[in-house]
Structure 1
């Protein structure tokens, strides 16, 4: 049998990848796609980037654009009837120039490495509170869902304090945020966006009310600072402000939640690394960087060709979709030695999880600080922590993470 006969067709692999079973463990399917090369044509107007070099270059290519409103008109007829995508295209994550640069410039200083360093005492306090919360639950002796009680609870507490979201409101935001992230997965029937639409409408109403409250009663929080800057400069419209605060809440809680969930699970699976996390502060950042490469919270990013172009020898026409499977790029054997092995001591870990170029993740520094702060505290306080059974993942592929993570704390 020839090599061509043994390779699965890319479309067949994608169908399996998008099935509930495929989303539970997509990595073998990424390798089936990689067998066709670093850039795989899925049809006349859709390509998949699975190689590290292809993904990295696509993230910086000026003609490969974010799926803003104009690009969505080319790719997804009928999207304007769905408020999930209407709101998404109003924020900086799904914008192109000049709107992207204008909005990112407005928010970027608040999440710079320098600004985030000043948040460290607050993050440490909330990390201690998160561990104490688990201590209270551990007194009952049963299993605990770490997603609900820790990996969501801690990042949203950090965001809540930064943005002045009342503590009582934080648990209720979890199902709203979770529903919104489903809108970013591929859908063949736009009717499947209805739960995300309802959640986005609810979040928009909530953030609009939060802005009104903080404008009337400003404080030392970032929401108040953003309102003052907007009102004084006019750089953003009120709708821009609301849309981007919504994006901060969703992206700033869901991805850190999934990073932390994967980090806890992998540490439990590798007791030798858990012990190094407990005693060696310098090791923690290397461990988390490898989690970001090996099992990232974001698996795919979408781009659309804004013009006809040639990319790695492939002719791409305007309006064609290029899906960047960055989780596959993170395991490219041409870039990483033994990529299927979890190795926190590997050199040159240039993972793609936080994107690159103009759309490099605005919250990367805060996500790293938060995880580096809370993970050692958790493992030192609960050295016998154990995951119960085989943890499952949500039925999602773009934003991938645990739906539940039952554990005994010991």
Structure 2
């Protein structure tokens, strides 16, 4: 199968639902392959990592977008994403990122551990109540979505009563992140963008009237004090992207990761007894079935990677899910092994656009995954999970489970190890 045919398969519904066989077909052609005029696909780990850090490659900013997507301003979804830090290059990207970065420092994230644990415990209590007598529970709706959306909404100052609104709106909007989108899908994305923008416009006005101790208030005050530092469009666009990115990746990480662990009971048992192993497990879950499968870059100057010359203006699709399974970087990449040495998945990107909330997403998974295993030792699939037909953001639409009898096994003493030793990169943490 040549690269162009492989790309067509990857963009089809079956290819999106399970992209890994297609990644291997592409990998057979090399770590960087040409799939069309000025279009290149990257499957190699080293190549993707270096390109993400190379200043010759940037995201599609306004100047480039005007050349390749004329009329893009007429789409609320494209315009909203384009005004955020997600789709801007330095110096605008650096300026916007600095304004939000204070809410995501390691110290502030670490201080949220108890809050995350309390929310996770409460959600597990709800799963036990709804799953009494063997009734199936949708893990995505009952845990994987409400946990991270509750955390990011608390940071942003979004009232708890409004949180159920965002799952559909975000699902609609994020269709615009797919490498190929139909006019009908774009219309749905535009609807989601309009709803999210309208919501945050009202929240901004509310915070102007009554400031609060939250990130929305902080960004509103920056804008009101100096519109050059953060314009009105940038304020709304970044609030939307902080919300959406703040739960989409973690929701998919929790769903994908739980299915992997249910398929690997021995590894699940080790983590159940030793929650201090969670960092190594989470990194391997990110590598094995990444919640973010791709990102894109445009070259602004000639470059060469993987033995392929990339002229200025080349459009690159970096297949992060394929890079995370590059056998040159990870031997036996199709095997789930949290004991691997040096697990550094590219699921959160690398370089200037490395995910601002990566530390928060990891914390939520470090806390939630072992807690689920300990409190719900009888957790099992209650039917076939339904995958979302998406390539960029890989996750489940529904994940039916039976919760079994609830239990809270004794917590292992930090420093103890399972039969196979401590997972690479794991450091003891207070469960």
Q: TM-score range by the shorter chain?
A: over 0.9
Match for residue 316 of structure 2? 322
Q: 2:205 aligns with which of 194, 212, 216?
A: 212
Match for residue 398 of structure 1? 392
1:228, distance to aligned residue in structure 2 (A): 2.8
Q: Deviations over 1:38-59 (max 9, x none)?
A: 0010112100011001101110
Give the SS at the match of 2:316: strand
Alpha-carbon distance in 1 for matches of 2:385, 2:184? 29
> Residues 123-142 of structure 1 correspond to what in structure 2 (within 5 A)?
123-139=116-132, 141-142=134-135
* TM-score, length basis structure 2: 0.90
Which stretch shifts more, 65-74 or 10-19? 65-74
Q: 1:256 aligns with which of 250, 257, 263?
A: 250
Alpha-carbon distance in 1 for matches of 2:185, 2:261? 36
Match for residue 426 of structure 2? none
Match for residue 111 of structure 2? 118
Q: 2:278 aligns with which of 279, 284, 290?
A: 284
Q: Deviations over 1:278-317 (max 9, x none)?
A: 2212211111110000001000000111234334443323
1:140, distance to aligned residue in structure 2 (A): 5.4
Does structure 1 conserve the Cα–Cα contact (< 8 Å) formed by 2:303 and 2:310?
Answer: yes
Match for residue 62 of structure 2? 69
Match for residue 303 of structure 1? 297
Alpha-carbon distance in 1 for matches of 2:110, 2:144? 21
Q: Deviations over 1:26-79 (max 9, x none)?
A: 111100000000001011210001100110111011111112222222333332
Does structure 1 conserve the Cα–Cα contact (< 8 Å) formed by 2:384 and 2:400?
Answer: no
Match for residue 427 of structure 2? none
Alpha-carbon distance in 1 for matches of 2:308, 2:327? 22
Q: Tell me, yes or no, if structure 1 residue 57 matches structure 2 residue 50.
A: yes
> Residues 152-301 of structure 1 correspond to what in structure 2 (within 5 A)?
152-187=145-180, 189-232=182-225, 234=227, 235-301=229-295
Does structure 1 conserve the Cα–Cα contact (< 8 Å) formed by 2:175 and 2:185?
Answer: no
Q: Deviations over 1:350-381 (max 9, x none)?
A: 21111111111100110011111112221111
1:191, distance to aligned residue in structure 2 (A): 4.5
* TM-score, length basis structure 1: 0.95
Match for residue 339 of structure 2? 345
Q: Tell me, yes or no, if structure 1 residue 335 matches structure 2 residue 329.
A: yes
C-alpha RMSD of matched pairs (Å): 1.5
1:276, distance to aligned residue in structure 2 (A): 1.8
Match for residue 379 of structure 1? 373
Alpha-carbon distance in 1 for matches of 2:11, 2:274? 39
Q: Tell me, yes or no, if structure 1 residue 13 matches structure 2 residue 13.
A: no
Over 3 Å counting, the alpha-carbon distance change for 1:75 and 1:313 in structure 2 is: farther
In the alignment, structure 2 segments of 5+ residues that lack a partner are 405-431
Q: Tell me, yes or no, if structure 1 residue 98 matches structure 2 residue 91.
A: yes
Q: 1:44 aligns with which of 14, 37, 48?
A: 37
In the alignment, structure 1 segments of 5+ residues that lack a partner are 1-7
Does structure 2 conserve the Cα–Cα contact (< 8 Å) formed by 1:75 and 1:319?
Answer: no
1:168, distance to aligned residue in structure 2 (A): 1.6
Match for residue 89 of structure 1? 82
1:106, distance to aligned residue in structure 2 (A): 0.9
Alpha-carbon distance in 2 for matches of 1:352, 1:119? 24
Alpha-carbon distance in 2 for matches of 1:221, 1:263? 30
Over 3 Å counting, the alpha-carbon distance change for 1:196 and 1:188 in structure 2 is: closer
Alpha-carbon distance in 1 for matches of 2:121, 2:293? 30
Does structure 2 conserve the Cα–Cα contact (< 8 Å) formed by 1:68 and 1:89?
Answer: yes
